[in-house]
Structure 1
């Protein structure tokens, strides 16, 4: 009995952690959770919580960290590459600000999600409270889409 509880809890922690990882985020965490035997709703909630964990840290700390790292020639190249790549992918965010950010995060495709959205929000100087709410709502929409697709896949 205790082993089953620990196994179930460890599955939940793995889904949370996968949701917090760049690239994977909830797009990988929800199907992963479903493959572990969690219900699509349970996996979606865990993936959503996990993917939102890094957002406040990214929004608050990203610019100061980038400024500090740009003092090193090696890191300047890395930071410039990240900045250029992010800004190339965020034309709708630049045009529509908070609404564009929400839509960008809501589309569950590779390189659209909370990590890239948070970086874009920080680089485009979107105020913290607007950025966080836009990312949260967009992430909820993405979670619903991925959860629905996972549910359909399980029931085929």
Structure 2
């Protein structure tokens, strides 16, 4: 299984929220894809989702969502909280926090959630994309190693 459409399917799955590379890689390997090729392809498309999500959030918010009172209030509350004195922890740990958040390959800690958090907290987009990308590489590496049996977790 390695036809053109199979690679397109892997790319699409790698960009889906809550699925991303951490689930696409094991599926790809199970269907006979080379582990290294699956890792590189899935990680690349998972990373590609990050700037696209930033852009989509910015456009959606400025064009439509800011006109919905509830959404605007939640967004403004997040911004106020971040800019308050209580946000020292976020200011100190924002990049490392995003990296660790994405690097741990468990559900809901992927690119989509991290990008949403970075956008809500108005973190620098370039730094956030870089840090989230490194987190994706770590998560995809751990997932690939676990899938091929190099890494195991004993409970």
Regarding TM over 0.5, the answer is: yes
| Equivalent residue, structure 1, for 2:81 | none
State the alpha-carbon separation in 2 of the partners of residues 41 and 14 from structure 1. 17
Residues 50-71 of structure 1: CA deviation (Å, up to 9, x unaligned): 2122211222341442343131
With structure 1 as the length reference, what TM-score do the two structures score? Answer: 0.77
CA spacing shift, 1:17–1:61, aligned 2, 3 Å: closer
With structure 2 as the length reference, what TM-score do the two structures score? Answer: 0.77
| Equivalent residue, structure 2, for 1:116 | 113
Where does the alignment leave 5 or more consecutive residues of structure 1 unmatched?
Answer: 85-90
Residues 79-118 of structure 1: CA deviation (Å, up to 9, x unaligned): 959x98xxxxxx9x83511111111110100000100010
Within the candidate set 99, 103, 106, 2:100 is matched to 103
Is 1:26 paired with 2:10? Answer: no
| Equivalent residue, structure 2, for 1:56 | 51
SS at 2:149 equivalent:
helix
| Equivalent residue, structure 2, for 1:47 | 42
Where does the alignment leave 5 or more consecutive residues of structure 2 unmatched?
Answer: 79-86, 151-155
Q: State the shift of 1:72 in Å.
A: 3.1
Is 1:149 paired with 2:146? Answer: yes
Q: State the shift of 1:39 in Å.
A: 1.5
Q: State the shift of 1:121 in Å.
A: 0.7
Map 1:75-114; keep pairs closer than 5 Å: 76=70, 80=74, 94=90, 96-114=93-111
Within the candidate set 128, 131, 138, 2:128 is matched to 131
State the alpha-carbon separation in 1 of the partners of residues 128 and 99 from structure 2. 8
State the alpha-carbon separation in 2 of the partners of residues 72 and 127 from structure 1. 25
- Computed over aligned residues only, the root mean square deviation of the Cα atoms, in angstroms, reads 2.8
Within the candidate set 52, 61, 66, 1:70 is matched to 66
